[in-house]
């Protein structure tokens, strides 16, 4: 996925550093830098964290389409919160 440019735009809009975002995602700054530079990928858990912590629109993040952030008024309609236990995973499929 080529979402690193979208992720960079989100950082600029939120006015937070890579270090701050890495802390929120629970990864090292170097790991986050690798994601930004396309050497690593966001995990499903990372995407869910961005969605729940910042109302990031996952469609925008992954495709560049739609609004960058979901408004609080339609957040419940557009976001599914999934709680995972250690060792569990989730597959996310996006439809247009």
Domain boundaries, the chain: 4-78
* Residue located via tokens 């975002």: 21
Residue 5: name the closest of 49, 93, 64 by CA: 64
CA–CA separation, 6 vs 12, rounded Å? 10
**pLDDT exceeds cutoff 60 at 75:** no
Q: Is the pLDDT of residue 38 over 60?
A: yes
Cβ density class 48-68: b for 16+ within 10 Å, e for less: bbbbeebbbbbbbbbeeeeeb
Q: Considering the domain 4-78 in this protein, what is its CATH number?
A: 1.10.260.40
Task: Tell me the C-alpha distance between 76 and 42, whole Å.
Answer: 23
Once rounded to an integer, what is the mean pLDDT over residues 8-29? 94
Is-contact 57 68, C-beta < 8 A?
yes
Model pLDDT for residues 54-64, shown as the tens digit of each residue: 999 999 999 99
pTM for this prediction: 0.71
């Amino acid at each position: 996925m080529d979402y690193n440019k979208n992720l960079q735009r989100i950082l600029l809009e939120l006015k937070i550093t890579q270090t701050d975002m890495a802390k929120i995602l629970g990864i090292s700054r170097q790991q986050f830098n690798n994601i930004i530079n396309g050497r690593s990928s966001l995990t499903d858990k990372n995407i869910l964290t961005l969605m729940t912590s910042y109302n990031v629109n996952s469609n925008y993040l992954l495709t560049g389409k739609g609004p960058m952030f979901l408004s609080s008024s339609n957040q419940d309609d557009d976001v599914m919160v999934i709680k995972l236990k250690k060792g569990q995973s989730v597959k996310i499929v996006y439809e247009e």
